Structure 1
Amino acid sequence: MKKILITLLIGLVSMDFFANIELPSIFSDNMVLQRNSKIKIWGWGNPGEKINIVASWNKNDTISTKVDRHSNWSVEIKTNDNKNPQRLDLYGYNHIKVENILFGEVWLASGQSNMEWNAAAGITKGEEAIENAANKKIRFFQIPKRSSKFPQQELTANWRINSPETMQEFSAIAYFFANKLSKDLGDIPIGIIGSYWGGTPAEIWIPKNKFKKDSILQKAVTKLPKEPWGPNEPAYAFNAMIHPITNYKIAGVVWYQGESNTSNAEYYQNTFKELIYSWREVFNTNFPFYYAQIAPYDYGQDNFNGVLVREAQRKSLNIPNTGMVFTGDVGNPKDIHPRNKKPVGERFANLALNLHYNKIDKEYYGPLFSQSYSKSDSLIVEFSHAKELHFINNQSLFEVAGHDSIFYPAEAVIKNTKVILSSNKVNNPLWVRYAWKNDAEPNLMNEENLPASGFLEKIE
């Protein structure tokens, strides 16, 4: 009899140990699922175990699946635009319930410290922003800082409802983005996944397989210094902080990074391109990728490293379905972490509202270089997004150069969407540049008082 009881106990313990189905932590109470979409739900369990999934928004259609021999399972389910909180029940040998689910727009916010910076760390009018953080339809999923040599399946985090207590610990830019987006879309729930790490270069956010095929990426990595505050090894942040969520349906990405790539700025345009395309590949969708151009900052007077990163970001606008937030007027040349985060977050929202949701018809860019050419004794520079083009002071930040590549200040006069330049020191100008210093604060604005991006271009 004693042997029989021991055998039964061992069997019960074994069944309990191996039978439990599991969900990744991103499927937790208070989550936001992308509305009107086909989403993937996945997890783990005992090989051969049958799982029944019941969604409150589709109670008449139970979805069934089996755990495969590798202990994995996944199903696809459609969401709608129901505005009421929903529930998900999963039945295997155990029962999992996920409650207070909202359907809305899900965005991934990533990058380095300027994206990571929260209201508790100190931002312009931070106390007011914290006090007014009352929209409970905004939900945060903050991924902890982790690095790994190999791609991970899971991470430890949970969804949190927006409140003064939770908002102040999350990315301030991402919060302001979500708050404006929610209001302007008609009180729609917004889920923000925060995956950021201050001081990190772009290379650690790119999948490892991309480095095997790209010699420029390989060279870029060799110029990254080792720092005490984070990894510099290729893919280490991607593996631990992006890979585990690549099956989760998102609307798009907002990105603020580049300061830590001033050490290899000449490679940044290629690096950034690879990051964008690789993320779209692993998420299996051509989502919008919106990014902030790094703000003016004194990286040293003996280099153009900050300018080169900004230039790479400007030129990255040729990648389809991208958009750039201009920050030249809200930076702090003496502080690499400018505290005026609200305009940046709301400019991200304006990009999404214009380009992705087609909800507002409002200028979302600062003046952008279009073309340049010589006419008589003058040099003409044309701009797009240049309605009511004007200077906010009399200082000219334009320079021209000839065959010797020595740049001289140029006098500038605005005519409609053009700037007419002249210099008595350059007879045959071949090059033109604007705001070409690391800490240069642009003074050329459009009707929305958005600043022009600096640039370096050859004259046509």
Structure 2
Amino acid sequence: MKSIINILSIFISSFAMANIHLPAIFADGMVLQRNAEVTIWGNADPREEITLKADFLDKEYKVKTANNATFKITFKTPKEGGPYTISLKGYNEVSLKNVMLGEVWLMSGQSNMEMSAAWGIKDGDVEMAKANYPNIRFFTAGKSAAEFPQKDIIGNWAICTPENAKYFSAVGYFFAQRLHQELGNVPIGIITSAWGGSAAELWTPQYVFDKKPELKEGFKNLQSNENEYYPTKTSVAYNAMIAPINDYKIAGAAWYQGETNTGNASSYESLLSSMITAWRKEKGYEFPFYIIQLASYKGWGDATAQIKNIQRKVAQSVPQSGLVVISDYSMLDDIHPKDKKPVGIRLANLALTDVYQKNTTSKFPIWKSVEFKGNKAILTLDFAEGLHFKNKTSDQFEMAGADKKFVKAKAVIKENQIIIEAKEVKTPVFVRYNWGNEALPDLYNKANLPASVYSNEK
């Protein structure tokens, strides 16, 4: 009897057919990038033939599962539209319903990116009551850490309703709302993968640290601060919350992080630049990357200004990158500024100008160069039309000689240049603007957008 059971078991198992399994990012209500080569992937039996159909495609796509039980199907999406249905058929059939084609953006960072109306934002109840946009969809990644890159991600797609929106990233929501309206109601998909308190090292692939071991050395100061709310090991958030969606096509990404890295600011420039490069390498294309600069906060000392200046430098040196300045919305006694709507709108305006070629008022004054002539420093800015001081004069400029002993400097605007001097400094070498933990900007352009923190120190 036992031998008969064994024979039957072998016979049955030889005909067993594994169901198609898709990662969580592929689900009802999702948004796929329009006008792009997109990929859907998953698992099935080795050598199983998978057929993909969609009512926006004019042909079927077939592929056989590899010997490691994985498959990928790449196809070209048309212009925006929906709702559509996508079906994948092998030994079983999986249908993805209510799929939209539109613009997909990734939002990442720490608590200020994660922060939702449910946390308490300015005018949150009023704004969320209006958040009825059926063609805006959000995927919020669940917090997860892993030692090695994962294949699946925790999370689900949700349609933007007043009930759902209050739990979305507030910055992501206001960004999506602005894009949706300005692009003529094109569907918008926002993937939020953020973790409050997380250092940038958590979001950076391990091979970056293998190539640049000094970055891991710089992280030791933060690793010693064990925390019950977030992990303190390199790469673990990237492995679990970014790597699983590397093949998911996006239009661009936004990064709102840096608070935790005030503890090791010296390595942040190399780290952030390397992280952006690595993310792009893994996706296989140079997508736009926008950095939301930290607001001022009195609890960090000069490290606040250092991180903000590094964010400026990275945004100016890394191709296809940009900076969103928000210091004029600072709450000096709160690490989490409550007014998130201007942040989302400023971010969206940059994307509308750079990515979608819309004529929006979006460009912040950008520090272009510094030149020393005698006892004066001449700072030149781009996007400086209508450059002015908020209070007619400024006390935000400082100057120093080679000794780096900074003193207040007098500043005068002349078209797109600022000429500064200080009688105490005969041979200036260094200049800086808006430096310090409680410094608020006072230099704006015609669009009433503030200039970033600036220092020419290395």
TM-score range, shorter chain: over 0.9
For 2:418 and 2:436, the matched residues in 1 are separated by: 20
Shift of 1:43: 0.6
The SS at the match of 1:400 is strand
Q: Aligned AA for 1:66? A: K
Q: Which residue in the other structure is 1:162 paired with? A: 160
- SS state at 1:85 partner: strand
Distance across 1 between alignment mates of 2:372 and 2:45: 72
Matched, 1:271 2:293: no
In structure 1, the partner of 2:23 is 24
Q: Match of 2:236? A: 236
**CA displacement 1:211-261 (0-9 Å, x = unmatched):** 111133122222213222211211100011011111111111011001110
CA pair 295-14 structure 1, distance change in 2 beyond 3 A: farther
Within 2, Cα distance between the matches of 1:261 and 1:360? 35
Q: SS at the partner of 1:329?
A: helix
User: Match for residue 65 of structure 1?
Assistant: 63
Q: Tell me which residue corresponds to 1:43.
A: 42
Shift, 1:33, TM fit? 0.5
Aligned to 1:387: 385
Q: Distance in 2 between matches of 1:420 and 1:288?
A: 33
Change (3 A) 1:10 1:129: farther
| Partner of residue 248, structure 1 | 248
C-alpha contact (below 8 Å) 2:80/2:186 kept by paired residues: no
- The question of whether the paired residues in 1 share the 8 Å contact of 2:349 and 2:360 is answered with no
In structure 2, the partner of 1:93 is 91
Cα deviation, residue 374, structure 1: 3.8
Q: CA–CA distance in 2 between the matches of 1:2 and 1:202? A: 58
CA distance in 1, matches of 2:11, 2:205: 43
Paired letter, 2:381: F
Root-mean-square deviation (CA), in Å?
2.1
How far apart, in 1, do the equivalents of 2:263 and 2:273 lie? Answer: 18
CA separation of 1:215 and 1:136: change in aligned 2, threshold 3 A: same
Which one-letter code corresponds to 1:172 in the other structure?
A
Deviation at 1:382, TM superposition (A): 2.0
Q: 1:216 to 1:5 in 2, by over 3 A?
A: closer
CA drift at 1:70: 0.9
Q: What corresponds to 1:286 in structure 2? A: 286
TM-score (norm 1): 0.94
Does the CA-based 8 Å contact 2:105-2:252 persist in structure 1? yes
User: Alpha carbons of 1:377 and 1:202: their partners in 2 closer, same or farther (altered >3 Å)?
Assistant: closer
CA contact (8 A) 1:347 1:364 kept: no
Matched letter for residue 209 of structure 2: F
Aligned equivalent of 2:437 = 438
The residue number in structure 1 matching 2:115 is 117
The answer (yes or no) to whether the contact 1:143–1:195 under 8 Å persists in 2 is: yes
Partner secondary structure for residue 19 of structure 1: coil
* Residue type at the aligned position of 2:269: Q
Report the more deviating stretch, 181-190 or 370-379. Answer: 370-379
Quick check: 1:200–1:260 contact (8 Å CA) kept in 2?
yes
Specify the SS of the correspondent of 2:346. Answer: helix
| Matching of residues 393-412 of structure 1 within 5 Å | 393=391, 394-412=393-411
How many angstroms does 1:296 deviate by? Answer: 0.6
AA at the equivalent of 2:39: K
Gapped regions of structure 2 (runs ≥ 5): none
On the 8 A contact 1:56/1:88 being kept in 2, the answer is: yes
* 1:385-406 C-alpha deviation (Å, 9 max, x unpaired): 2111111124411111123221
In structure 2, how many angstroms separate the alpha carbons of the residues matched to 1:5 and 1:264? 64
Partners in 1 of 2:320 and 2:415 — Cα distance?
A: 29
Query: SS of the residue aligned with 1:299?
Result: coil
Contact 2:209 2:216 survives alignment (8 Å): yes
Assess, with a 3 A threshold, how the Cα gap between structure 1 residues 370 and 136 changes in structure 2: closer, same or farther: same
Taking a change above 3 Å as real, the CA distance of residues 360 and 94 of structure 1, as seen in their structure-2 partners, is same
Identity %: 41
Letter in 1 for 2:401: G
**What is aligned with 2:33?**
34
| 1:216–1:270 contact (8 Å) kept in structure 2 | no
Q: Does structure 2 retain, via aligned residues, the 8 Å contact 1:363–1:385?
A: no
Amino acid at match of 1:298: K
Q: Distance in 1 between matches of 2:368 and 2:97?
A: 51
Q: Cα gap change, 1:374/1:46 in structure 2, threshold over 3 Å: closer, same or farther?
A: closer
1:360-371 equivalent positions in 2, closer than 5 A = 360-365=359-364, 367-371=365-369
Whole-angstrom distance in 1 between the partners of 2:193 and 2:346: 20
1:76 aligned onto 2:74: yes
Letter in 1 for 2:243: H
1:13 Cα deviation after fit: 7.3
Q: Give the CA deviation at 1:135.
A: 1.2
- Tell me the SS of whatever aligns to 1:84: strand
Structure 1, unaligned runs of 5 or more: none
Counterpart CA distance in 1 for 2:253 and 2:300 is 31
> For each residue in 1:105-162, what CA deviation from the matched residue of structure 2 results, as whole angstroms up to 9, or x when unmatched?
1111000000000011111111111011011110001110000111111123221101
Cross-structure match for 2:51: 52
1:214 equivalenced with 2:212 (yes/no): yes
Aligned residues between the structures: 454
TM-score, length of structure 2 as denominator length: 0.94
Distance in 1 (CA, whole Å) between partners of 2:318 and 2:343 is 21
Q: 2:147 aligns with which of 146, 149, 154?
A: 149
Deviations 1:242-299 (A, max 9, x none): 1111111111101100111001001100000011000001111110001101111113
Deviates more, 1:433-442 or 1:371-380: 371-380
Answer yes or no: is the 8 Å Cα contact 1:44–1:67 preserved in 2: yes
Cα shift readout 1:356-412 (whole Å, capped 9, x = no counterpart): 1111243421x2222233446543222222111111124411111123221111122
Relative to structure 1, the CA distance from residue 82 to residue 428 in structure 2 (aligned partners, 3 Å threshold; closer, same or farther) is closer
Going from structure 1 to structure 2, the CA distance change for 1:454 and 1:66 (only over 3 Å counts) comes to: same
On the 8 A contact 1:253/1:289 being kept in 2, the answer is yes
- Aligned partner letter, 1:362: T
Aligned position for 1:176? 174
Deviations 1:289-342, CA, capped at 9 Å, x for gaps: 0110111111344xx211111111111121100001001101111111001101
> Aligned letter for 1:286?
E
CA distance in structure 1 between the partners assigned to 2:119 and 2:290 by the alignment:
24
Residue 313 of structure 1 corresponds to 311
**Residue aligned with 1:285, SS:** coil
Contact 2:294 2:326 in 1 (8 A): yes
Distance in 2, matches of 1:50 and 1:390, equals 65
